[in-house]
Amino acid sequence: MPKAYDTIIVGAGPAGGTAAFFLGQAGQRVLVLEKEALPRYKACGGGLSVDMLEVFPFSFEPVIERRVKAVRYALGNQAVTIPLPSNSMCMVMRDRFDAYLLGHAQAEVRDGTAVQSVEEIDGKVLVTTRDGEQLAASHLIGADGANSVVAHSLGLRRNKALAAAIEVEATVPEEKLVEYGEVPLLAFGEVAHGYVWIFAKADHLSVGIGNLHPRPGELQSRLKAAMAHYGISLEGYAMHGHAVPFFTRYELLATGRSLLTGDAAGLVDPFTGEGIRFAIHSGRLAAQAILSDRIERYTNWINRRIKFNYVIAALLARSFFRYPDEWFAFAARRPSITRAFVDSISGRASYLQIILRLAGGLPEYLSRRMFAWGK
């Protein structure tokens, strides 16, 4: 007889850790399976909203690497720095962040345990590991990333869309840490349909590049060239590539007893590429669906609370990356737009509200452009 649990969670990232925490709080017998040895490195910029963490009844202070006071945007030779609201954004390393979150969950954790397949049978979920062990549970949560074994086993997300990103953890001189310590950089124009980032952690820089429509080998060379422009050498450092999944249309994210969360569900912002927010949100919704016995409503919850935002974000991304010069001139220098994006990452604002703020500044921008053209 396979050992039985109330819920098995595949994947120990923010989505899995969040679900494990709230299910464990409710008294469930929870097992978390993670294929890597914990703590494990995860390629991720690691920027997140401080407010977003308030859904948990404990502080994340021990794993916050940096506090962010402003953000710098660049396009070609143009650059602008916009102050952020106090204590609104921070930087984390995912290995420490994920392990810290999971450490607060009342759950059994097995790392170094890869899942081979998942099957729903006889009113339960049967999980088979690559070692041949079988485990059973009343419910299962797939939090196992863009190439989810759970999704594949259950026939979900068959037509998923994937973008790509590459990140490097680079040790740099102290002056570079100071330069970017409280002011991360987002540089546009270095690659079509994407951007470059420089985020400071406690003792190094996380630098990377993301692209909605990558070409083979392009990102590595573009990232090296961009970092050389900013005086950061990547020689001798490993480049960590990872798939960035997108939720492009209505699709089932749950079966009778299983649910997909985070990257496994394609929940990554199509404009910014940020995914921690949706991982936490979907992990909590998955736990609520299981505890309230409303798994059949989970897909609609995700569509209602996240998908509409996605549609607007995707349209905004398409427009921005097609006309970067116009968008940079219009939006980058407007602090209200940056604050709107910060609010969206914290969950306080939607992309519809961002569009409305953009629309509010359009008359002034057009009048200035018309005045400039008339000179």
Residue 95: CATH number of its domain: 3.50.50.60
pLDDT for the residue 28: 98
Q: Is the pLDDT of residue 126 over 90?
A: yes
Q: Is 193 found in the same domain as 250?
A: no
138 has pLDDT over 70: yes
Query: Is 373 a residue whose pLDDT tops 50?
Result: no
What pLDDT, on the 0 to 100 scale, is given for residue 322?
A: 87
Mind listing the pLDDT tens digit for each residue in 294-344? 999 999 999 887 777 777 888 888 888 888 888 888 888 888 888 888 887
Helix (H, G, I), strand (E, B) or coil at 255: coil
pLDDT of residue 366 exceeding 60, the answer is: no
Residue 204 included in any domain: yes
In terms of Cβ atoms closer than 10 Å to its own Cβ (0-12, 13-18, 19+), residue 256 is: exposed
177-233 pLDDT tens trace? 999 999 999 999 888 888 999 999 999 999 999 988 878 788 999 999 999 999 999
> Domain end: 244, 261, 281, which one?
244
Is residue 304 a part of any domain in this protein? Answer: yes
Please calculate the CA angle 59-62-68 and round it to the nearest 5 degrees.
85
- Cα separation of 284 and 222, whole Å? 37
pLDDT of residue 21: 98
pLDDT for the residue 320: 86
CATH number at residue 213: 3.30.9.10
For 148, the domain range is 3-68+87-160+246-312
The reported pLDDT for the residue numbered 371 is: 45
Same domain, 41 and 105: yes
pLDDT of residue 362: 59
Q: Any bridge partners for residue 329, and if so which?
A: none
Rounded to an integer, what distance in angstroms lies between the CA atom of residue 347 and that of residue 154? 30
Q: How large is the average pLDDT for residues 102-110?
A: 98
Contact 181, 65 (CB under 8 A): no
Provide the mean pLDDT of the chain: 90
- Which one-letter amino acid corresponds to residue 166? I
Q: 12-26, pLDDT tens digit by residue?
A: 999 999 999 999 999
Residue of higher predicted confidence among 290 and 326? 290
Q: What is the pLDDT of residue 273?
A: 84
Structure tokens at 375: 């000179």
Encoded amino acid at 352, one letter: L
Is residue 146's pLDDT more than 70?
yes
Chosen domain end from 244, 264, 288: 244
Are 101 and 191 in the same domain?
no
* Long-range pairs for 172-181: beta carbons < 8 A, 24 or more residues apart: 172/204, 172/205, 172/232, 176/205, 176/231, 176/232, 177/203, 177/204, 177/205, 180/205, 181/66
> What's the CA gap between 126 and 143, in Å, rounded?
16
User: Do residues 36 and 113 both lie within one domain?
Assistant: yes
Neighbours of 232 (CB within 10 A): 20
Name the residue with higher pLDDT: 127 or 218.
Answer: 127
| Arithmetic mean of pLDDT, 135-146 | 97
Q: What is the DSSP letter of 334?
A: -
230 and 343 assigned to the same domain: no
The per-residue pLDDT for 358 is 72
Q: How many domains does the chain have?
A: 3
Residues 91 and 224 in one domain: no
